[in-house]
Amino acid sequence: MIRYYWGRFWPFLLFAFGIEVVENLFTVFFEYRNMDFGFLPLLKTGYVFVTEFLITMCYWLLPYAIYLWLLPRSKAGGRADRWITLAWFFLFALASLFEDVAEAFFWNEFEASFNFIAVDYLIYTKEVIGNIYESYPIIPILLGILAVSVLAAWGMRRFLIPGNAEAPRGWKRGCVVAALLLCVTGGYWLVDIKDADAVGNRYNSEMAKDGLYSLFSAFIKNELDYRTYYKTLPDQDAAAFLAGEFTADDTSVPDAASGSVKRQVRPAAEAIRPNVVVVIMESMGAEFLNECRKDGEDITPCLSRLGREGIFFPNTYATGTRSVRGLEAVSTSIPPLPGMSIVRREGNENLRTIGSIFKEKGYDLKWIYGGYGYFDNMNYFFGNNGFQVMDRNSMDDSEVTHSTIWGVCDEDLFRRAVREADESCGRGVPFLQVVFTTSNHRPYTYPEGRIDIPSHTGRLGAVKYADYSVGAFVEEARSKPWFDNTLFVFVADHGAGSAGKKSLNPETHRIFSIFYAPALLKPERRETAISQIDVLPTLLGLLKWPYDASFYGKDALKPSYRSRYFVSNYQYIGYLRGDDMVVLKPQRGAEFYRDGNEVAPDDRMKELEKEAIYYYQNASDWRKHLKE
């Protein structure tokens, strides 16, 4: 029996193992500077790789084993058997090659094996396939995969069925099926994708993962309950700490004893009621600002000027690595909980957000997005939190001069925003617009002739075009009667990348935020590191508005402001003060870093860990705290 099944299975194992090795060798070639080649790390990497590979192969071989079980012994090795086996091997080779090529593209974008982002991409196939089609020569690649699969099947046709091994009896073949079922069941319950993190080096860890195994693991585990998987402390201690954090200047937390962190903000100064336009910019990391560039290139002249003329926070830190995290942070002022953003979760309707506060003040609320807002549940979230939704579906083709699969170009988007502002102003109603751009996104295409970098030549061109569009938007708005009474907020959703050697890399989360209203605000530069969740309370502080809300961000312009910020990457949630960072992990784990190096926890780190737990644990009850 062993000889029979080895003869049936080894071509599948050899082909899959061969392409996985080739893929990993390419990865090593491009990432060798970032990897750890010590004996123990390599041993751990190899162990994880072989374990996940074998589990994945059990899944692949199980349906084939069931076929062999049901195949009559007299038909084993016959013509029909050979053709069916050849067809299954061809499909196996095609799928394996496609998965490896797709994972290579994914690695090029995120420097990681398949994860929750890939799961999201499977859900939103139209945008993702469109993006890949516009960014890569997809037809030649698919034809190449098909050709290699045909050649592999043809080349292995003589080896797929052993010529001198008799098929075992039915009950023995049933035992093989049962053994494979036991392996896949045991693999599901006993092997966790997080085991790869024991490798130590993030690049080793990601390279060790099997793509399909990682994909399905992420699909199953895409939302984590904080209290089940992370460290906790008494709820009353968390509420008391947060009440102390938020009680200062004009803010109090009257119901902290009951566990509530709802603050009452009562400014002494007179409130103002300007229009507000919040522009959330795709992937606009701080590294693109002219002042941060080492090559001297003039990539962001417009944003740099707005920063000098407005209130500028060059050291703002995004809470996550996805757009929905940035939208969540700016609209709800909540730390990034593990798993999906609140924008994507059930029960996110009628929350206390930027929308509800402005709606109480009689503002006209509009969510303006150049793409299709069903992606990432954005339209649903904003539509069910007070906003009038305006996405690509509400734009006439005559309004569009250029678009990609992600949406219309930023110029077209901003022209629509100006038109909507004119409409609100014409009705005598103050307005709040949340505008989300898309041009700084692969495939990095935009209208020709606007900037000195040709379209479709890379990220820097997209950044410079996005900057140009912001400048054009502000200049068009300047000609409008509502301009002098309008406060603009420019903030990125996240940085351009998230890769690094640590489980969380704060430097890749650095963005910037600008509050611009030349008739209302005096220019000011604040070097203090702030969190993206501080943008909303800082905005409300500038407006001098009284309000009640369970926000976790703080007004960064207040004298009492104490810097701390949050970063995350799905399962890992970080909390920083200065150069100290604690990373909370599933299975109630934690890592500690000082000046970028992992350290043992001293008293200061243990106190930082407590603060992190207080914030995240309390925020995990967001459905209770944020509900209107």
Tens digits of residue pLDDT in 536-560:
999 999 999 999 999 999 999 999 9
What was the pLDDT predicted at 379?
97
Q: Tell me which of 197, 220, 243 is where a domain ends.
A: 220
What was the pLDDT predicted at 372?
94
What was the pLDDT predicted at 167?
85
User: In terms of C-beta density within 10 A (0-12 exposed, 13-18 middle, 19 or more buried), how is residue 600 classed?
Assistant: exposed
pLDDT higher than threshold 90 for residue 518: yes
Helix (H, G, I), strand (E, B) or coil at 565: strand
Residues 375 and 504 in one domain: yes
What was the pLDDT predicted at 152?
94
Among 182-191, 240-249, 529-538, name the one with the lowest average pLDDT. Answer: 182-191
Task: Please report which helix (H) or strand (E) contains residue 33, including its range.
Answer: none
Residues 165 and 310 in one domain: no
Asked if the structure places residue 534 within a domain, the reply is yes
pLDDT higher than threshold 80 for residue 231: yes
Q: Both tokens of residue 240?
A: 């008391």
Tens digits of residue pLDDT in 16-31:
999 999 988 888 888 8
Tens digits of residue pLDDT in 149-198:
999 999 999 888 877 668 888 888 899 999 999 998 888 777 766 666 66
Cβ partners under 8 Å of residue 621, min gap 6: none
Residues 329 and 200 in one domain: no
Write the CA distances from 564 to 57, 174, 589, integer angstroms: 46, 59, 21
Write down the H helix ranges in 230-300.
Answer: 235-246
Tens digits of residue pLDDT in 83-125:
999 999 999 999 999 988 888 888 877 677 877 667 666 655 6
Residues 140 and 289 in one domain: no
Mean pLDDT within 461-470: 98
Angle between helices 79-110 and 211-220 (to 10 degrees): 70
Give the total number of structural domains in the chain.
2
Asked if the structure places residue 284 within a domain, the reply is yes
What was the pLDDT predicted at 373?
95
What was the pLDDT predicted at 232?
97
What was the pLDDT predicted at 567?
97
Tens digits of residue pLDDT in 34-48:
888 888 888 888 888
The fraction of the chain above a pLDDT of 70, given in percent, is 94
What was the pLDDT predicted at 257?
82
CATH number at residue 537: 3.40.720.10
User: In terms of C-beta density within 10 A (0-12 exposed, 13-18 middle, 19 or more buried), how is residue 543 classed?
Assistant: buried
Range of the domain at 513: 272-566
Asked if the structure places residue 466 within a domain, the reply is yes
Cβ-contact 538, 515 below 8 angstroms: yes
Asked if the structure places residue 232 within a domain, the reply is no
Residues 212 and 339 in one domain: no
Asked if the structure places residue 30 within a domain, the reply is yes
Q: Tell me which of 549, 566, 583 is where a domain ends.
A: 566
pLDDT higher than threshold 70 for residue 349: yes
More confident residue, 494 or 113: 494
Among 144-153, 233-242, 502-511, 560-569, name the one with the lowest average pLDDT. Answer: 502-511
Q: Per-residue DSSP letters for 444-469?
A: ----TTSSSS-TTS-HHHHHHHHHHH
Tens digits of residue pLDDT in 283-310:
999 999 999 998 888 999 999 999 999 9
Tens digits of residue pLDDT in 68-90:
999 998 888 888 999 999 999 99
What was the pLDDT predicted at 126?
62
Residues 301 and 445 in one domain: yes
Asked if the structure places residue 546 within a domain, the reply is yes
What was the pLDDT predicted at 44?
86
CA dist 586 and 565 (Å) reads 20
What was the pLDDT predicted at 186?
86
Q: Tell me which of 566, 585, 612 is where a domain ends.
A: 566
What was the pLDDT predicted at 128?
63
Residues 190 and 303 in one domain: no
Residues 195 and 277 in one domain: no
Asked if the structure places residue 605 within a domain, the reply is no
User: Given 3-state DSSP classes, what are the helix, strand and coil percentages for the chain, each rounded to the nearest 5?
Assistant: 50, 15, 35
Cβ partners under 8 Å of residue 398, min gap 6: none
pLDDT higher than threshold 60 for residue 221: no
pTM: 0.78
Mean pLDDT, the chain, integer: 91
Tens digits of residue pLDDT in 577-596:
999 999 999 878 999 999 99
Asked if the structure places residue 444 within a domain, the reply is yes
